Each structure stands twice: as C-alpha cells, then as structure tokens.
Amino acid sequence: MPKQEQTVGLFVTCLVDLFRPNVGFAVVKLLETTGWTAVVPRGQTCCGQPAYNSGDRRDARRIARRVIRAFADFDYVVVPSGSCAAMIKLHYPELFKGERRWAERAEDLAARTYEYVTFLDEVVGVRQLATRYDGTCAYHDSCSSLRELRIKERPRALLGRMGGVKLKELKEAETCCGFGGAFCVKYPEISNAMVADKVADIAASGADTLISADLGCLLNIAGKLRRNGKATRVFHIAEVLAGMAKGHGIGGDPEPKGAPKEQPRLARIGNVKR
C-alpha cells in the first residue's frame, strides 16, 4: 500500500461512458481499495481514434490537444481500454511529430498513461485479490493490447490471482474479432465473418465466460453471441477483478426472468443477408 493517497486520472473512454459505465465504477472501486483516488476530469470525451483512423488527422490532433490538456496535472493516467491507451501512448506522439512543444507534451502524457491491467500489475502492484468469480473463462486479446502495447500475460496473471477463475485458452485468442471501429459498420459482412469465427472459437473452448480489456471487442462479440442465442457471460476484466461481474454481463441475460418476450427479429435488412 502506498504511504499516502495516490491520485490517478481516469480516462473513462467514450464506449465505457455510454455503453458500460459499470466498467468505470469497477475501476474506481478497485483502485480506491488499494489506496488510489480516481479523479475524472470533466473535459474528456474521446481519445480521437475515430477521427484518426478515418484519416481526419486535423480533428484527431484537436481532440488530442484537449486530452493532453485535461490530463496535464496527473502523475498517472489510467485507461480501461487497450485501443485508447495505445492511441494516447503511441499515436499522440506521432500526431505531433516534429512540432516541438506539442510533441513534448504528447510524449509526456504518453509516459504517464497506463492501460488499466498494466497499471494494476505494474504500478499498484496487485498481487492477490479477495474477489471471486466462478466460471471457465476465455480471454480475448484485443489487437491494440496485444500488438501495440504488448500485453499478453498480465491480464491472465491478474485473473489467476482471484478465486474461482478457471482460465481456458482460446485457440485463436490473438485473432481479430472484426470490430475495428468504423470497419464493423462499413464492411459488415466481413466483420460478421470474423466475429462468427471468434464465437465459434469460444464455443469450441467450452468456456462459459468471455473476458477482454477492450469494450469495442466485447460489444461486438457479445452482440454476436446474443444474436446466436448463446448464454455465454461477457465481461470487461475490470468488472471481474472488482467483483462487479453480475448476471450475464454485456448484452444481458438471454432469458431474463420476468422479461417480456424477445423482440421479433427482422428476417432481412435491405439487401444484406444475415
């Protein structure tokens, strides 16, 4: 435990903010029990990936400057998303390459920014967790976490420090799930083929739970699982570690008790086959 209160700035990410606030609260809860105070600057919105990957470099830079300013006063910044953390750590410096002042500020923020799992393992130094999760869990390595931030062992190690978790490796743990930001709506059939492979891989593993550290991947995979009528539980690793992984998680319970009948599915939308 740190001797005095340590403060960490929380970059919530736009997807967590909108689609799964539970992840944000789980991060805060776990950090606070280890003596870290989470502070959430109001000025944050998005890391700028959508603009950056769409080729809108100008907007990406504007957003980046805003993020850099919002987190200027924190010694540590934690991000519960591999892709957003990579955006800040690797791509912000690239966005300002050659411009001395902003390049320096970007490098500075990059050095203080941590993906959440990495932060817990390396900075907080969590060695044992009193929380428990009972289930056979498959872990999906998001492409940014794996290839940009080189995270592979840490999430598995952390899950291993909890009670109850039985880890089952996916045969294709490192294969892209087909989310890719705008890709999944610009090229839906290809994205569908990729996520279909991913859920088939999950089914083949026999795991009853799917965990990852990137909400984009989780929304994509959960959405496909539910469309296929699967009851696989889906959680962000933050929720699991904090003991806040209740029910079926993302995408809800396939058969919630007392819920109205499932909405009728559309057989066809436009020319796109399901």
Partner 1 sequence: MQPTADRFKENARAALADAELQKSLARMREGFVGRRSAAVERLPEFDTLRDEARAIKDHTLANLDFYLERFEANVAANGGAVHWCRTAEDAREAVLNICRLVGARTVTKGKTMIGEEIAINEYLEANGMTPVETDLGEYIIQLRNEPPSHIIAPAIHVSKSQVEAAFRRHHNNLAEGRDLSEPSALLAEARAVLRESFLAADVGITGANFLVAETGSVVIVTNEGNGDLTQTLPRVHVVLASLEKVVPTLEDASTILRVLARSATGQEMSVYTTFATGARREGDLDGPEQTHIVLIDNGRTRLLGTEFEEVLRCIRCGACLNHCPVYGAIGGHAYGWVYSGPIGKVLTPGLLGQRNARDLPNASTFCGRCEEVCPMRIPLPKLMRAWREREFRQPMGSPRAKWAVRLWAFGARNPVLYHLGARLASRMLRRRGGSLRRTARFPFAEGWTAHRDLPTPEQATFQSQWTGRRRAPGRMKPAAHLMSARS
Shortest distance, position 51 Cβ to partner 1, whole Å: 5
Angstrom distance (rounded) from CA 31 to CA 21? 16
Q: Give whichever of 67 and 207 is closer to partner 1, judged by the CB atom.
A: 67
Taking CA atoms, 254 is separated from 22, 202, 211, in Å, by 19, 17, 18
Taking CA atoms, 247 is separated from 22, 58, 135, 148, 253, in Å, by 13, 42, 12, 32, 7
Q: Give whichever of 28 and 110 is closer to partner 1, judged by the CB atom.
A: 28
Q: In what order do the strands lie in the sheet with 209-212?
A: 163-167, 132-139, 209-212, 233-236
Q: Give whichever of 110 and 126 is closer to partner 1, judged by the CB atom.
A: 126
**Tokens representing residue 116 in the block:** 């959440």
Shortest distance, position 61 Cβ to partner 1, whole Å: 10
Handedness of CA 238, 51, 96, 42 (dihedral sign): negative
Shortest distance, position 60 Cβ to partner 1, whole Å: 8
The string over 178-196, giving b where at least 16 C-beta atoms fall within 10 Å of a residue's C-beta and e elsewhere, is bbbeeebeeeeeebbebbe
Q: Give whichever of 48 and 135 is closer to partner 1, judged by the CB atom.
A: 48
Q: Give whichever of 100 and 263 is closer to partner 1, judged by the CB atom.
A: 263
Shortest distance, position 124 Cβ to partner 1, whole Å: 6
Q: Give whichever of 209 and 220 is closer to partner 1, judged by the CB atom.
A: 220
| Residue of 211, 268, 272 lying closest to 241 (CA atoms) | 211
Shortest distance, position 57 Cβ to partner 1, whole Å: 5
Angstrom distance (rounded) from CA 250 to CA 271? 29
Shortest distance, position 216 Cβ to partner 1, whole Å: 10
Handedness of CA 91, 93, 98, 99 (dihedral sign): positive
